[in-house]
């Protein structure tokens, strides 16, 4: 059974390696290193045998478009790819997350969410399982949340765009927020759109709560671009600076005091600007910011490779420095609590026997060791049978206590560990180590030892080598000509 499951995972990774073989040799090596990390994690029980850390990583550059309804997200996407692929309008026109990717087929196709949930190359692989944990039954409704659109346009080649539903109507939908958090974590670039026609704090409150507050303390906060769209609405009053200031004040009230801000509008749908000076000023500002946004999108292809290596390194360090120590700590507490309850159980039984003896109860006299030798044979046999039954009962109670304390500590994991991924990994490892056949006194996590540590250290060493290879492609600290370092002249795939 295990070999069959493992072969399924291997086939997925083999398929991924086939796609990456020609595109990027460095990433091909990264997949192989993920396999090494998987072996350690599977033996520890952190992930199952039908899982791989590699399938949790989007291997293509991922750009997410988030924001409020009518903030111009779809219009921006249509303008970027050069086709009217997404519907536009002032009202909600789409309540699904739409994943856009390149296709060799000239015909635009729309595929159901299942196409994303079952394909490890996309960022929503097995997202239905996560939705099921959030809201019971929602995992079966994956098509209500996701869809895939394919289009033959060079602007999409080698990257994935995600258009999100507007936040205002979905503010109370737990599953939608879970998906949003998921894509924010995985994206290489996140464009957060606001409507210049409604920059007041009240109108932006839901979006600010969900999209701004959560980015303040992120280590990757530089991947968030905040875009004030449809600034052509300020032309008549010529108050762009005032609107922009009000917008930035709203962001500051949510705690965001840093970050890159842009002001743009859609030229095809813009209000006419008759004043030449005013038009040039607005067009100049728009073009400058659009050029910077385009440049950030182009850089994503390079940043993507570093991001994947960073995920590999982060996961390895997570196992080494947090998952293993936290699991060991839980096992120590599990042993301590179980033994304490075992002692209490034995003491209670001892007190019960002593009470029977002291009260002169017939059964108590049978159990009195001082009179044991003079008791009739049949009484000795009965007592022996009772003793065996008592030992069996005590053993059964012991395993029940093991299970109870394990459940108690499992519930504590969610309260003591804030990070969702770390929670999952520790919970899985702890569950494997508290199985009935697992020795109570052994607090060393299953599958963890010198060999596992050495394997992880080898993975970490490999990540450093991968980064150096990438640096050789994109930098030249020595200042030598490309002829001395031919890898410098290579462009990113």
19 in a structural domain:
no
364: tokens are 């108590």
32 in a structural domain:
yes
Residues 30 and 159 both lie in one domain: no
Residues 218 and 92 both lie in one domain: yes
- Average pLDDT value for the chain: 77
Going along 6-91, which residue ranges are E strands? 62-67
405 in a structural domain:
yes
Residues 104 and 127 both lie in one domain: yes
Specify whether the CB–CB gap between 328 and 443 falls below 8 A: yes
Chain center to CA of 429:
18
First to last CA, the chain: 39
On the question of pLDDT at 93 being above 60, the answer is no
- Bridge-partner residues for 65, per DSSP? 163, 191
Best mean pLDDT range from 84-98, 398-412, 474-488: 398-412
Q: What pLDDT, on the 0 to 100 scale, is given for residue 376?
A: 60
Specify whether the CB–CB gap between 27 and 125 falls below 8 A: no
Express the helix, strand and coil content of the chain in percent, nearest 5 each: 65, 10, 30
Chain center to CA of 488:
33
339 in a structural domain:
yes
Best mean pLDDT range from 45-49, 231-235, 436-440: 45-49
Strands 224-229, 109-112: parallel, antiparallel or unpaired by DSSP? unpaired
More confidently predicted of 33 and 185? 33
Q: End of a domain among 272, 300, 329? A: 272
Residues 197 and 173 both lie in one domain: yes
Distance CA(309)–CA(388), nearest Å, equals: 58
Alpha-carbon distances, residue 474 vs 43, 62, 178, 313 (angstroms): 38, 20, 36, 20
122 in a structural domain:
yes
With a pLDDT cut of 90, the percent of the chain lying above it is 18
Residues 431 and 371 both lie in one domain: yes
The domain in which residue 73 lies consists of 58-272
Chain center to CA of 215:
15
- Bridge-partner residues for 149, per DSSP? 100, 110
Residues 169 and 261 both lie in one domain: yes
Alpha-carbon distances, residue 110 vs 2, 63, 149, 165 (angstroms): 36, 19, 4, 16
292 in a structural domain:
no
Residues 258 and 330 both lie in one domain: no
Domain of residue 85, CATH code = 3.40.50.300
300 in a structural domain:
no
Q: What pLDDT, on the 0 to 100 scale, is given for residue 377?
A: 59
| CA-based radius of gyration for the chain | 31
Distance CA(315)–CA(53), nearest Å, equals: 8
Specify whether the CB–CB gap between 34 and 312 falls below 8 A: yes
206 in a structural domain:
yes
437: tokens are 């056949």
Q: End of a domain among 272, 296, 331? A: 272
- Bridge-partner residues for 266, per DSSP? none
Q: How confident is the model at residue 171 (pLDDT cuts 50, 70, 90)?
A: very low
**465-487 confidence digits (pLDDT tens):** 999 888 887 665 555 555 444 43
Nearest to 313 by CA among 190, 419, 458, 468: 458
- pTM of this prediction exceeds 0.85: no
**228-262 confidence digits (pLDDT tens):** 888 887 777 777 777 778 777 777 776 665 567 88
Distance CA(410)–CA(488), nearest Å, equals: 51
Total domains present in the chain:
2
Q: What pLDDT, on the 0 to 100 scale, is given for residue 454?
A: 96
On the question of pLDDT at 208 being above 70, the answer is no
Q: What pLDDT, on the 0 to 100 scale, is given for residue 321?
A: 95
Q: Which of 1-5, 140-144, 334-338, 430-434 has the lowest mean pLDDT?
A: 1-5
Torsion sign over Cα 154, 156, 157, 158: positive
- Bridge-partner residues for 263, per DSSP? 228
Q: What pLDDT, on the 0 to 100 scale, is given for residue 1?
A: 41
465: tokens are 């080598």
Distance CA(260)–CA(224), nearest Å, equals: 8
Contacts of 38 (CB under 8 A, 6+ apart): 9, 47, 51, 52, 53, 54
Mean pLDDT calculated for residue range 275-288? 85
**350-393 confidence digits (pLDDT tens):** 666 566 555 555 555 555 555 555 556 555 565 566 565 556 66
- Bridge-partner residues for 93, per DSSP? none
115: tokens are 């196409």
* Exposed/middle/buried for residue 66 (C-beta within 10 Å: 0-12, 13-18, 19+): buried
On the question of pLDDT at 333 being above 90, the answer is yes
Residues 139 and 33 both lie in one domain: no
Q: What pLDDT, on the 0 to 100 scale, is given for residue 491?
A: 36
Contacts of 82 (CB under 8 A, 6+ apart): 153, 155
Q: How confident is the model at residue 489 (pLDDT cuts 50, 70, 90)?
A: very low
More confidently predicted of 149 and 199? 149
395: tokens are 């053993």
Residues 223 and 371 both lie in one domain: no
Specify whether the CB–CB gap between 169 and 69 falls below 8 A: yes
Q: What pLDDT, on the 0 to 100 scale, is given for residue 181?
A: 77
Distance CA(207)–CA(210), nearest Å, equals: 5
Count the neighbouring beta carbons within 10 Å of the beta carbon of residue 157.
Answer: 11
Q: What pLDDT, on the 0 to 100 scale, is given for residue 488?
A: 32
């Amino acid at each position: 059974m295990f070999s069959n499951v493992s072969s399924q995972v291997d086939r997925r990774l083999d398929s991924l390696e086939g796609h990456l073989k020609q595109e990027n040799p460095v990433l091909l090596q990264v997949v192989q290193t993920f396999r090494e990390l998987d072996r350690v994690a599977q033996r520890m029980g952190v992930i199952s045998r039908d899982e791989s850390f590699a399938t949790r990583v989007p291997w293509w550059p991922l750009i997410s478009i988030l924001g409020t309804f009518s903030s111009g997200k779809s219009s921006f996407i249509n303008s970027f790819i050069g086709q009217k692929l997404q519907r536009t309008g002032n009202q909600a026109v789409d309540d699904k997350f739409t994943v856009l990717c390149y296709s060799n087929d000239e015909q635009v196709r729309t595929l159901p969410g299942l196409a994303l949930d079952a394909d490890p190359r996309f960022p929503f692989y097995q997202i239905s399982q996560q939705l099921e944990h959030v809201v019971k039954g929602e995992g079966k409704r994956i098509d209500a949340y996701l869809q895939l659109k394919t289009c033959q346009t060079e602007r999409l080649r080698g990257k994935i765009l995600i258009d999100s539903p507007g936040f205002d109507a979905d503010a109370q939908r737990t599953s939608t927020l879970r998906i949003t958090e998921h894509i924010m974590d995985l994206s290489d670039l996140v464009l957060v759109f606001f409507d210049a026609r409604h920059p007041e704090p009240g109108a932006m409150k839901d979006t600010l709560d969900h999209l701004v507050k959560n980015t303040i303390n992120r280590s990757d906060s530089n991947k968030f671009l905040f875009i004030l769209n449809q600034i052509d609405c300020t032309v008549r009053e010529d108050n762009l600076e005032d609107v922009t200031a009000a917008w930035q004040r709203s962001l500051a009230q949510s705690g965001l005091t840093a970050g890159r801000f842009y002001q743009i509008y859609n030229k095809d749908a813009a209000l006419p600007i008759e004043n030449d000076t005013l038009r040039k000023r607005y067009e100049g500002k728009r073009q400058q910011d659009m050029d910077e946004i385009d440049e950030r999108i182009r850089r994503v292809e390079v940043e993507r490779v570093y991001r994947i290596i960073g995920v590999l390194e982060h996961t390895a360090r997570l196992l080494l420095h947090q998952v293993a120590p936290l699991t060991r700590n839980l096992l120590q507490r599990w042993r301590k609590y179980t033994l304490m309850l075992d002692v209490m159980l034995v003491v209670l039984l001892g007190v019960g026997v002593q009470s029977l003896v002291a009260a002169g109860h017939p059964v108590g006299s049978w159990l009195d060791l001082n009179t044991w030798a003079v008791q009739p044979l049949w009484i000795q046999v009965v007592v022996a049978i009772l003793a065996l039954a008592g030992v069996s009962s005590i053993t059964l109670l012991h395993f029940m206590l093991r299970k109870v304390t394990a459940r108690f500590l499992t519930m504590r994991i969610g309260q003591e560990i804030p990070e969702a991924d770390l929670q999952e990994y520790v919970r899985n490892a702890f569950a494997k180590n508290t199985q009935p056949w697992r020795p109570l006194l052994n607090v060393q996590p299953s599958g963890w030892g010198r060999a596992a540590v050495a394997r992880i250290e080898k993975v970490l060493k490999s990540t450093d080598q991968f980064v150096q290879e990438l640096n050789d492609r994109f930098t030249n600290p020595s200042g030598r000509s490309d002829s001395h370092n031919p890898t410098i002249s290579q462009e990113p795939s």
